[in-house]
Amino acid sequence: MTTKAKAPSSDESVESDDRADSPLHFDSVLDRNLRPDPDLEDPDPDPDPGLGSDAEVTRRSDAEFESVSLEPLAGLRVAVAMSGGVDSAVAALRLKEAGALPVGLSLRLHDPDPENPAAPRACCPPDDLQDARRVAEALDIPFYVVDARAAFDTHVVRPFVDAYLAGRTPNPCVGCNSFVKLDTLYRRAMGLGCAALATGHFARVTRDAAGRTRLFAGRDANKDQSYFLFGLSPDILGCLVFPIGDLTKAEVRARAVRAGLPIAHKLESQEVCFVGGAGAGDFVMRQAAAAGDHRGPIQDASGQVLGEHEGVMRFTVGQRRGLGVSSSSPLYVLDIDASKKTLTVGARAELGRRGLVARGASWISGRPATPVRVTARIRYRDRGTPATVHAVDEDRVRVEFDRPAFAVAKGQAVVFYQGVEVIGGGWIEESAL
């Protein structure tokens, strides 16, 4: 069912989606449980001379976007993904100001768990649906809620748990964008006869002379979310519109305030939606799949046992805090072997890796001839390392870094950039010294 300029009960606007078989990341999601220690980042990243400096590439990229406008959507029905946050609200506002006919869509991804209270600033909690509804009413646009709980559990929550139990560090937001949210919303938008699907991502798209869709970072480098979108299918990427991709976060907030939107002063989300306030490790331990004794040794690279841990699902490569091991110098997680329940720790210098192998390689505008030069980002907040990508087979690629990349974690996404353009990516399977 749909709502417009009224506030029905929470069940009145729920529309089941039995076809939903794959998750979206509208506002910034930075789960501190999934990030290595901040001091692992390379303090002096050099731009790849073959790609141009960041400033030069940004100027070239911004010039390409000077002609991009929402005006061609005037008079057309456009679905807009509404998370209940400021970014998606301003995306809907800009569409309406451009003369488009926005249709608000929100996803019900999971139910509240009374035994696992959400983190204070988790993304996409069920309560956000009410905020999305309030924005739709303020803008006087139709609003639908799509039930994607089953798909979210199958394609996000279960893989998240399985990955941690296997000693990998998953990035649920990338999988959610590619396999549940945008997939589900795209099909619903097409079913409603919409000409495009808009989201509140800080990213940008263009179509080149050959008609191929190209994906670029958002103008606000601090909020850019293009990293999360590398795995989208051509059909979905080709119909996407990012109305706030050319704005900074401050400009988005200011527009919301000027328009008097009811969520104008709402804080942005910074935690994974379903994990809860206790963190990823505790969430995994509560799942049936985690039954049993997960204790194991903490050892150094020579095999000397330094202590014991309560379960590998509580750790990620690069982690420094919470190891429970005394040492005269800082220790970091170097490797996780779930089959042996072993955690290997060592000095920061031992975290450098010269390369990696990634599976599930995906390319935005078709598979390029390899080797290909890129800047490779091995996690969301990574500033990137110049690298060369080689094809291993149809599914896998080998990445050789120009200099060691720090804390390469299995299970994370590696995303390939040329300047501020995303050309592809994959899922880290193993790293190489």
Task: Tokens 């001091």: give the residue.
Answer: 39
Catalytic-role residue among 123, 173, 176, 239: 176
408 by Cβ neighbours in 10 Å (0-12 / 13-18 / 19+) ranks as buried
Task: Tokens 């149809």: give the residue.
Answer: 394
- Per the CB < 8 A criterion, the answer to whether 271 and 29 are in contact is yes
- Per the CB < 8 A criterion, the answer to whether 23 and 362 are in contact is no
Task: Supply the DSSP string of 85-98, one letter for each residue.
Answer: SHHHHHHHHHHHHT
Tokens at 365, concatenated:
């505008």
Q: How far apart are CA 202 and CA 212, in angstroms?
A: 20
Tokens at 267, concatenated:
């804080």
Q: How far apart are CA 194 and CA 103, in angstroms?
A: 8
CA dihedral over 35, 227, 179, 79, signed as positive or negative: positive
Q: How far apart are CA 51 and CA 53, in angstroms?
A: 7
* DSSP class of 318: T
* DSSP class of 378: S
Tokens at 155, concatenated:
């394609």
Spatial CB neighbours of 425, under 8 Å, sequence gap ≥ 6: 230, 231, 358, 361, 362, 413, 414, 415, 416
CA atoms within 13 A on the CB side of 94: 27
Q: Is 273 a catalytic residue?
A: yes
How many Cβ atoms are within 10 Å of 145's Cβ, its own excluded? 25
329 by Cβ neighbours in 10 Å (0-12 / 13-18 / 19+) ranks as exposed
Q: Is 176 a catalytic residue?
A: yes
Closest CA to 143 of 13, 234, 296: 13
Q: Any idea which residues carry the catalytic annotation? A: 176, 273
